[in-house]
Amino acid sequence: MFLRISNFKTGVLLFKNMSKMKLSHYHTLKIENPKEFVYNVQINRPEKANAMNNTMWLEIRKCFDELNENPDCRVVVLSANGKFFTSGIDLYDMMNLGEEISKHDDIARKSKILRTFIKTYQDCLTALEKCDKPVLTSIHGGCIGGGVDLISAADIRYCTQDAWFQIKETEIGMAADVGTLQRMPKIIGNMSTFNELAFTARKFDSSEAKEIGFVSRIYNTKESMLEHVMNIASNIAIKSPVGVQMTKRSIIYSRDHTVQDGLNHIGDWNQILLQSEDFVKASMAVATKDKTPTFSKL
């Protein structure tokens, strides 16, 4: 029995390490693997200005869950096809939801449907944070409503000169509820500016996004942005996956906890991870000026 279990485990390990994991088929996303260990997730509903319909929300969660488990993926670049990055939530889906709710008379029944809906969509975007692989977003054109929630859950944001952003929820009579209000103030570190953008729902352009620290860099064209972002992604992908993935986990944990809690968290993890082969390999490479240490898949 023991032998059989250990053979099974070895088989799983071999499968994970040697064969490329098969990707699921997506209807609203296009996935490519343009460079070693770099995956490009493209929002792909251009005929509807990349409006985020129910399928897209669920596919975002599934895709990032899968990439988290995929040992061939070390970095994700999130971009979009078509004229807009995304026009936000699909307003026709919202109308259908309204019809669904109206079938019930009782407030508790209606509310339960809405709560499940909101929690599900929150989880779909939190999947970007739960994915240990860094997520770099390349934004062009308009990024509206739910799009701002989406990119706020990413680790790094880049955009083109023509990009514009809008926390549009107050304009459609709601408070943003899937991450913008929780994550974006921590990204830009300025409540006054954030509050103005959230209350007024006014558009802000790429220069303002850079000025307030929402994006890291602006590019003239989408092509030049993608070329540069892919290079940054590759630069991350050649690093130890143990080091990079734990760094992401520690950054997110520390954002949501006290300094002491964050220190305890990384102390607990590193007592294990400093025993990894990656630490020895990477340290040796630095000491011997070897520029190309290779790390096993993780």
Ligand X SMILES: CCC/C=C/C=C/C(=O)SCCNC(=O)CCNC(=O)[C@H](O)C(C)(C)COP(=O)(O)OP(=O)(O)OC[C@H]1O[C@@H](n2cnc3c(N)ncnc32)[C@H](O)[C@@H]1OP(=O)(O)O
Q: What is residue 252's three-state secondary structure?
A: helix
Residues binding ligand X: what is the number (CB under 6 A)?
22
| 281 makes contact with ligand X (CB under 6 A) | no
| 177 makes contact with ligand X (CB under 6 A) | yes
- Measured CA to CA, the distance from residue 129 to residue 132 in angstroms comes to 7
Q: Count the neighbouring beta carbons within 10 Å of the beta carbon of residue 234.
A: 16
Nearer to ligand X, 118 or 284 (CB): 118
Nearer to ligand X, 177 or 208 (CB): 177
Query: Among 139-147, 192-200, 220-228, 283-291, which window interacts with ligand X (CB under 6 A)?
Result: 139-147
- Measured CA to CA, the distance from residue 126 to residue 130 in angstroms comes to 6
Q: How far is the CB of 48 from ligand X (least distance, A)?
A: 4
Residues 39-68 touching ligand X, rule: CB under 6 A, are: 48-49, 51
User: What are the angstrom distances between the C-alpha of 13 and each of 17, 24, 71, 74, 109?
Assistant: 6, 21, 11, 18, 46
CB 40 within 8 A of CB 34: yes
Task: Out of 31, 44, 63, 146, name the contact with ligand X by CB under 6 A.
Answer: 146
Nearer to ligand X, 203 or 228 (CB): 203
Listing DSSP states for 54-81 in one string gives HHHHHHHHHHHHHHHH-TT-SEEEEEE-
* Site mask for ligand X (CB under 6 A), range 204-233, x = bound: ------------------------------
| 89 makes contact with ligand X (CB under 6 A) | yes
DSSP state for residue 288 in the 8-state scheme: T
- Measured CA to CA, the distance from residue 198 to residue 179 in angstroms comes to 12
Q: How far is the CB of 191 from ligand X (least distance, A)?
A: 21
| 144 makes contact with ligand X (CB under 6 A) | yes
Q: How far is the CB of 203 from ligand X (least distance, A)?
A: 10
| 118 makes contact with ligand X (CB under 6 A) | yes
Q: Which residues are catalytic?
A: 89, 146, 149, 169, 177
DSSP state for residue 89 in the 8-state scheme: B
Q: CA triplet 75, 236, 217: central angle to 5 degrees?
A: 90
| 163 makes contact with ligand X (CB under 6 A) | no
| 85 makes contact with ligand X (CB under 6 A) | no
What residue number has its CB nearest to ligand X?
A: 145
| 141 makes contact with ligand X (CB under 6 A) | no
Q: 10 Cβ partners below 8 Å, 6+ apart?
A: none
Taking each continuous run of H as one helix and of E as one strand, the counts in the chain are 12, 9
Binding site for ligand X (CB under 6 A): 48-49, 51, 84, 87-92, 117-118, 121, 142, 144-146, 168-169, 172, 177-178
